[in-house]
Amino acid sequence: MSNSTPWETNSAIIREKFPGLLEQLSNPEPGNPASIRIETAASGDPTLIIHGISIHSRRDPRREGRRLAETLKGTGPLIILGFGLGYGAEGILEKTGFSPNRPIILVERRAEVLRKALETRDLSPLLSAGSLIFVLGGAEEGITGALHFCKTQVPGGKGAPELIRNRGLMQLDAPWYAGVERHIHAWTAQDTVNQATLRRFGKRWVRNGLRNLQAIRDLPGIRHLTGILTPEIPTFLAAAGPSLDRIAPLLPAIQQRCVMVAVDTALRCFVRAGVEPDFAVAVDPQYWNFRHLDRLPLPKTRFILESAVYPPVLRHPCAGRFLCASLYPIGKFIEDRLDPKGRLGAGGSVATTAWDFARMLGSSSIWIGGLDLAFPGLKTHFKGARFEEQALSEATRFSPGETRTFRALRDGNPFWAAAADGSRVLTDQRLSLYAAWFENRFHETPGLRNHRLFGEGLALSGLGTASPEEVLALPILREKIDQTLGRAFSRVHQDFMGPAQVQERRVRYAAALGELVQGLKTIKALADAAAEIAHSQEQKGKGNFFLKQLTTIDREIAANPVKDIAGFLLPRGNPASESFTQYGASSLKQYQALSEAAEAQINQIVRGNSLLAG
C-alpha cells in the first residue's frame, strides 16, 4: 500500500464503508475542471482554489481546521457544510478523539470537489473513523434523512446538530447551502415545537385519553385498511389551504375518479360542493378542532381518529370510525395490551397524518389539493373555513377579522420562498417545518407519485405540479372504488366485531385497566413516601442519607410500566449546586405533584369504567 496513490487508498475504504458513494464520485456533474486547482500553502500542505476563491487558508490549512474545531460546544451531530479538502473534518475528529458516538455529517455540493480531495490527500484516518455520513449534492432535503439516521441509529445522534461552515464553498453554491440550512433549522425546531405543544396541550391530551379509553377497545385500527386499494385506483388528498377554493368546483368530478381523503379542517369545502369524502382524518385533541365538524353530518364518510381526540368527535354522525396508534402514553399502554391500531406519521399537522394514511391505502399515486404550506394571496385557509368564520364572529369595531389574519401571517416568523409555479410566496417557520417532513417522506417513498393541483403553494422537492385537466383525464372508477371499499369494510367487521373477538377484547381491556390502576397506585405510594423523606430533609437541612433513599425510590418508579402515564419527569435539582434544604424542597414539590397526578388519573379511570367501580 506504500506505493498507492491517495485516490487508490481512499477509494478502497470508500468502496467498503460507503457503498454507492464511489459511483457518484466516478460520474460527477458536468463542470469545468480547469476552475478547480490545487496550490501549495506556506505550510507545505495543499490548498484548494475554485474560480479564484480560496477554500482554505493559503498559509496553514491544517491549523485553520483545528481552529474551526475549537468552536465546538454541543454534544449532538456535527454537520460540516462544505468538505473541501477535509481539513475541518480532520480537526473536528482530533478534538473529539475519533469518538464513534458523535456522528459527523459531511455535506458537499460538488462531487468534483470531494473527488479532488480524495485524489490529493490521504484521508484514510478520517474515512476509517467512527460515524461518518456523506451528503453529496442532490436534493437539499438529503440532510434530513441523514439527521433521521443519526437520531435513530447512532448513540450520540439525538442532540441538536452543530454546524461548521466553509464560507468559501458556501459562497460558490449559496442557494443550495441555504436550502440545506433551512432543512437543518426545521429539523431542529421539531423538538422545540413538540415541547411547546406538550406544555400547552398536555393536560388536554391526558383528559381526552382517559375519557376515550373504551374507544380503543371498541373501534378497529387502521391496520385493517393497509393496502386495500389496488395501485391503479388513485387517491385524492384535500388539505385546507387557500388553493382549495380553486379546486372546490372540481371535487364532484374528482370523486368519480379517486378515493377521497380530507383533513377535518377541509370538510366544510366538501359539504358545500355536495361531496362526501370516503375518509376524514381528525387527530387534534382540541375543542376548536371539534368545531370544524359543526352541523356537518357525514353519513357516508369514515373517520380516521386518534384516541385522544376531543370526546364528542367519537359521537359525530358518520359511516364508521377507525383509530390510528395513539401518540400518548396512556393510549399506547392500553393498545399494547389490547389491540395495536397501526401507526401513522405525525409531522405536527393533520395534513401530514392524512398523507401517511393515503399512502397506506395502497394507491400508486396521490393527487393533492390545498397543501399550500404558505399564504398565497396572503390568505391562510380556503374561503369559508371555520377559522375565517370564528374570526368574523369574534370581530369587534376595534379588533376586526382582518386583525386575526394579520397576526396569523406575522406571528410565525414569515419569510418569502419559492412557489411551485416559479413565483415567490409568503410562508413561515412553522409551515417550513411541515414542508421538511413532507420532503423527507417523499424522498423515502420514491415509488409513490405525488401530484399537486395548482402551483401557488410552497415548492416541495418530490411533489410535482399537475393541471386540473390531468386529474380529470383519469378514468371514472367510482363504482369500482365503492365495491373495493365495501369489501374491505365487510372484512373488517367480520375480523373485528365477531362475538369471540369482542369478548376477548373485553377481557383484555379489563386486565389492562386493572394493571394501569394498580401501577398508578404503586407510583402514588412511592411518591408519597419520597415526599415524606424530602419533607423531613427540608426540616433538618443536613445529611445526605436521604439522597440514597430517593435514588432507590426513583429506580422503583422508573421500573414501573405506567411511569410515563403518571407524568413523572425525573430531573430534579442538583445537590452540587443546592443546599440540602433547597434540594429537599424542590424534590418535595415534584413528588407531591407526581402523587396528585397519579391520584387524579386513578379517580377518572374508575369513574369512567364500570368494570372498576367499587
The reported pLDDT for the residue numbered 403 is 64
| Whole-prediction pTM | 0.74
Quickly state the pLDDT bin for 576 (edges 50, 70, 90).
very low
The cell numbers describing 33, all together, are: 475542471
Q: Give the pLDDT confidence of 490-541 residue by residue, as tens digits.
A: 999 999 999 999 999 999 999 999 999 999 999 999 989 988 888 776 555 5
Q: Give the pLDDT confidence of 335-382 residue by residue, as tens digits.
A: 999 999 999 887 678 999 999 999 999 999 999 999 999 999 888 888
Query: Which of 221, 235, 303 shows the shortest CA–CA distance to 267?
Result: 303
The reported pLDDT for the residue numbered 280 is 97
Q: Give the pLDDT confidence of 281-309 residue by residue, as tens digits.
A: 998 888 878 888 888 889 999 999 999 99
Please give the residue that has the higher pLDDT: either 303 or 328: 303
Pairing of strands 104-108, 132-136: parallel
What is the third-level CATH fold of 6-188?
Rossmann fold (3.40.50)
The reported pLDDT for the residue numbered 386 is 63
CA distance 588 to 303: 45
48: β partners: 38
Structural domain spans, the chain:
6-188, 212-479, 499-608
Q: Give the pLDDT confidence of 4-52 residue by residue, as tens digits.
A: 899 999 989 988 888 788 888 876 555 555 588 899 999 999 999 998 8
Confirm if 452 and 464 have CB atoms less than 8 A apart.
yes
Whether the predicted pLDDT of 188 surpasses 90: no
Please give the residue that has the higher pLDDT: either 570 or 292: 292
Edge to edge, the sheet with strand 46-50 lists: 36-40, 46-50, 53-54
The reported pLDDT for the residue numbered 399 is 65
The reported pLDDT for the residue numbered 279 is 98
- DSSP sequence for 8-24: HHHHHHHHHHSTTHHHH
The reported pLDDT for the residue numbered 395 is 54
Q: For residue 426, count other CB atoms closer than 10 A to its CB.
A: 17
Helices of type H across 541-562? 545-558
Quickly state the pLDDT bin for 201 (edges 50, 70, 90).
low
Q: What's the average model confidence in pLDDT over 145-169?
A: 79
Quickly state the pLDDT bin for 407 (edges 50, 70, 90).
low
Dihedral sign (CA 604, 606, 610, 614): negative
Residues 6+ apart with CB under 8 A from 291: 386, 390
- Give the HSE-up count for residue 29: Cα atoms under 13 Å, Cβ half-sphere: 9
**CA distances to 43, 53, 62, 546 from 47, in Å:** 10, 11, 10, 61
Of 185-199, 240-254, 276-290, 589-603, the least confident: 185-199
Q: Give the pLDDT confidence of 101-138 residue by residue, as tens digits.
A: 778 899 999 889 999 999 999 998 888 877 788 988 88
The reported pLDDT for the residue numbered 240 is 92
Whether the predicted pLDDT of 276 surpasses 90: yes
> pLDDT over 90 for what percent of the chain?
44
CA distance 587 to 534: 6
The reported pLDDT for the residue numbered 275 is 96
- Which amino acid belongs to residue 547? L
Of 194-208, 245-259, 596-610, the least confident: 194-208
Please give the residue that has the higher pLDDT: either 75 or 80: 80
**CA distances to 138, 218, 419, 532 from 453, in Å:** 25, 38, 13, 63
Q: What's the average model confidence in pLDDT over 410-431?
A: 85
Query: Which of 127, 98, 106 shows the shortest CA–CA distance to 8?
Result: 127
Quickly state the pLDDT bin for 178 (edges 50, 70, 90).
confident
The reported pLDDT for the residue numbered 469 is 95
